[in-house]
Chain A
Amino acid sequence: MNNLVILPILIPLLAAVLLIFMNKSIKLMRAFSAVSSLAAVAAAAVLAQTVFTDGIQTLYLGGWKPPFGIILVADQFASILALTTAIIGFATVLYSFRSIGEKRERFFYYPAVQFLLAGVSGAFLTGDLFNLFVFFEVLLMASYVLIVIGGTKIQLRESLKYIVFNIISSALFVIGVAYLYAVTGTLNMADLSVRISESGHAGLITVIAVLFLIVFGLKGGIFPLYFWMPGSYYAPPAAVSALFGALLTKVGMYAIARVFTLIFTQNAAYTHQLMVWLAALTIIFGVIGSIAYWDVQKIIIYNIVTAVGVILFGIAANTPASIEGSIYYLIHDMIIKGALFMLGGALFALAGTNSLKKMSGYMKTHPALGWMFMISAVSLAGIPPFSGFIGKLKIAEGGFTSGEFVITLLMLLSSLLVLYSVMKIFIYGFWGEEWKDAPRNRSVKGFIYPAAILLFLSLAVGIGTEFVAPYFHQAADTLIHPEKYIEAVLKE
């Protein structure tokens, strides 16, 4: 009996419902969504600390014992992800005050953000495959609203593509769940894990595993399935892109990490090798995209693809070090992508364009923005004192241990190109003479302090690695030893 586990889902959900009633007063909506996001951060932090001291927390919804009832499971992996989600939600809400505009705020923008956060936290904390699907739908429905809200031409076009691809992937998800239910007769993840290791349908299970890889790959944007992402993340305003870029693809990566460490572990030689190759191709296509464009948003979006490839490679290499590295990199990437999108949005607000060829010299007028961009750029590439370093180091260590030398080197080389792509933004946007006919003297204060929160957090994770390492280590521990998870869920 521990209702603490549901608080990171319940607080945004209740806030979303109450915000619908407040849509007459924008000030009230802003204040309430900031306060409730802060409360969600606090609840998730308490949960993470409780898991750290007392072990995996479970909640049997309605008091029904698993595998019969629905269960929420907070292991350290899920709870630090829920905490990161809550923090990014808080920063995005603050960022929205200045950037999103009254017209959108009036049309239920804040409730949609809270529904999205509830869906993402729910997807992290659930212990049941069908509930994972339902929470995916909750966050996707909210993201459909957020991508189309405002109703500009490009948003309408891109939201149509986004919705079509997501409906297809959701249908595949249901089909996958149906197959798995037909083979095993259960949907509880821990129970699934036990039954699959007992059953002899290795071939069938492998097929279902690949189907799930396709489904989560579509959600998470891995190599042949990322084609919807550049357009759809380009369309909405920066605050929404920050939320999407930081959270949505990462839920797909979380789902892959969860099911391929807990459920589909039987035929790892095949499935994990497939994932290794997909990861390598994802990294290659991500960096090609990011160095090809002269557009701030596009460069950041293709860096998401690269990061997804790196995380996937860490999971696929399947050694303790690489899985721990993946967790570090996942958290780091959520935070830093949020910050980068916010800073990119500030740059757009200043220059009125996303094209690098039409902006320059902002270092003189906006030094704070420039330095923050610089720090997030080197952090993204994984320069030692910053947060991106430790994750890549551990993934590389794991990659070499598992004998994937070529792809590990490829991943390390990709860091160079990632650094090149974001430094290109820095050099062309901030250095040089000031653009003559650019709009001048616009304050971007409201744009940079939410990004500053995320950057500070990223720096804290990077410099205080020693302090956060036990949490990450515990998170990796339950992924490497799924029997701990199963025992916590199915205990009498």
Chain B
Amino acid sequence: MNKQQTNDVILQTVTKVACFIILLFSFHLFFAGHNNPGGGFIAGLMTSSSFVLLLLAYDLKTVKNILPINFIYVAATGLFISVCTGIGSFVFGAQFLSHAFGYFHLPLLGKTELATAVLFDTGVYLVVVGVTMTIIQTIGERE
């Protein structure tokens, strides 16, 4: 960071495009997880890899300006969501972590299967993003 900024026009321009493609692919992986290979873990890694690409093309400060998030709290939020999907079973009088699903008619998407496992996976996704980014940012910050 204290060395002189090199001229990375090509890297930065490609990053601007590639970053969104990687993000989209990670969302695809996340939603595909129920019936195809994918899921919260790999999607979280893929999302953080797009952030890492940003970190490589720009520097820590710029990325912190773009994403002013404390990633420790992201991981904690993820854990909280996952634990809460289990606690929901207390409300409905079911066994802990019982899974429920149903078919709904959503606007635009039509008949869609919604499952509570997706909520659990959202927690996993956030934990993975939070933990990976915390590790990379704290190591990167050290002089």
Contact = CB atoms under 8 A, between A and B. Distances in A.
Given A10-B86, A21-B73, 9 more contacts: A3-B95, A17-B79, A17-B83, A20-B73, A20-B79, A59-B96, A62-B99, A63-B95, A63-B99
Contacts of B96: 3, 6, 10, 59, 61-62
A438 interface: no
Given A17-B76, A18-B80, A21-B73, A63 B98 contact: yes
Contacts of A60: 95
Given A3-B89, A20-B72, A21-B76, A10 B95 contact: no
Interface of A: 1, 3, 6, 10, 13-14, 17-18, 20-21, 59-63
Interface residues of B, number: 18
B83 A62 contact: no
24 contacts: A1-B95, A3-B95, A3-B96, A10-B83, A10-B86, A10-B87, A10-B96, A14-B83, A14-B87, A17-B76, A17-B80, A18-B80, A20-B72, A20-B75, A20-B79, A21-B76, A59-B95, A59-B96, A60-B95, A61-B95, A61-B97, A62-B97, A62-B98, A62-B99
B25 interface: no
B94 interface: yes
A63 B76 CA distance: 27
A121 B73 CA distance: 25
A6 to B, nearest CB: 5
B90 A3 contact: yes
A13 B89 CA distance: 16
Q: Which 10 A-B pairs have the closest CB atoms?
A: A20-B76, A63-B95, A62-B97, A17-B79, A63-B98, A17-B80, A6-B96, A61-B97, A62-B98, A3-B96
Interface in B33-80: 72-73, 75-76, 79-80
B28 to A, nearest CB: 27
B46 to A, nearest CB: 24
A94 B90 CA distance: 30
Max count, chain A CB within 10 A of own CB: residue among B83, B93, B96, B97: B96
Max count, chain A CB within 10 A of own CB: residue among B75, B83, B90, B97: B97
Contacts of A17: 76, 79-80, 83
B143 to A, nearest CB: 17
Contacts of A61: 95-97
Contacts of A3: 89-90, 95-96
B95 to A, nearest CB: 4
A18 B76 CA distance: 8
A473 B25 CA distance: 58
Nearest to A5: B96
Nearest to B93: A1
Interface in B76-124: 76, 79-80, 83, 86-87, 89-90, 93-99
Nearest to B90: A3
Nearest to B95: A63
A1 B86 CA distance: 14
A301 B75 CA distance: 36
A36 to B, nearest CB: 13
Contact of B83 (A1, A13, A63): A13
